[in-house]
Homo-oligomer: A and B are copies of this chain.
Amino acid sequence: MPRWEPDGAERLETAAFDLFAEQGFDRTTVAEIAERAGLTPRTFFNHFADKREVLFGLSAEFRQRVVRGIAECPPATPPLDAAVHALQAALDAMFEHRRAAVTRRFAIVEANPELRERELSKIADLADAVEAALRARGHDTDTAGFAADAATAVQRRAMQKWTRTADGPPLRELVADALGALRAAVAPAAP
């Protein structure tokens, strides 16, 4: 896992994002990233396994926080509410204070089909982890699975909205709004 000392990982991240945006992810090397950051490739590899991990290195920690957050919800919390609550806490802790960097990351991932596929795969991993955490609370497969799909959809669309303005509402508020929008969108028509 990357560590976020301002003089290490964060400088490397900024340099990497600059280069990915300027010349594309594929054409950027670790040596260039280290040079731009004024550091050595060796320092790069102290923080990241490869250049892709600059973009995806936080996903495992995020997933673990969400799983822990679900386990800590009171037993009576309904499954989707537990998942969304845990997502909000993890987003607060890891992303709320880094909107500019997350926004840049989004643009880089969106611009590259391979990175986009990787991002979808990480979201699927997150959904699998949420499903397992909900099953561990006694929910059946269908309930846990669909609550997990819904929670990750809510998060994904809330984050998209959050990265579209520099000073809009905080992420947890957009997540709450998105949950309401999802529930309205899938509710059966009134008889």
> Per-residue CB proximity of A164-191 to B under 8 Å, as 1/0?
0000000000000010011111111100
Chain B residue at minimum C-beta to C-beta distance from A143 = B185
A to B CB contacts below 8 Å, 10 in the list: A78-B189, A142-B157, A143-B185, A146-B157, A146-B181, A149-B157, A150-B150, A150-B186, A183-B188, A187-B187
Residues of A within 8 A of B (CB): 78-81, 113, 116-118, 120-121, 124, 142-147, 149-150, 153, 157, 178, 181-189
Please give, as numbers and ranges, the residues of chain B lying within 8 Å of A183 by CB-CB distance.
186-188
In the assembled complex, the Cα of A38 lies from the Cα of B184 at a distance in Å of 54
Please give, as numbers and ranges, the residues of chain B lying within 8 Å of A79 by CB-CB distance.
185
User: Does B186 lie within 8 Å of A146, measured CB to CB?
Assistant: yes
| Neighbour of A117 across the interface among B120, B143, B145, B187, CB < 8 A | B120
Chain copies in complex: 2
Please give, as numbers and ranges, the residues of chain B lying within 8 Å of A182 by CB-CB distance.
146, 149-150, 186
In the assembled complex, the Cα of A79 lies from the Cα of B189 at a distance in Å of 10
Please give, as numbers and ranges, the residues of chain B lying within 8 Å of A142 by CB-CB distance.
157, 178, 181, 185
In the assembled complex, the Cα of A116 lies from the Cα of B120 at a distance in Å of 10
In the assembled complex, the Cα of A146 lies from the Cα of B120 at a distance in Å of 16
Please give, as numbers and ranges, the residues of chain B lying within 8 Å of A186 by CB-CB distance.
80, 146-147, 150, 182-183, 186
Known: A146-B153, A181-B146. A81 touches B116 (CB 8 A): no
In the assembled complex, the Cα of A117 lies from the Cα of B182 at a distance in Å of 25
A188 vs chain B, min Cβ distance (A) = 6
A107 vs chain B, min Cβ distance (A) = 17
Please give, as numbers and ranges, the residues of chain B lying within 8 Å of A189 by CB-CB distance.
78, 81
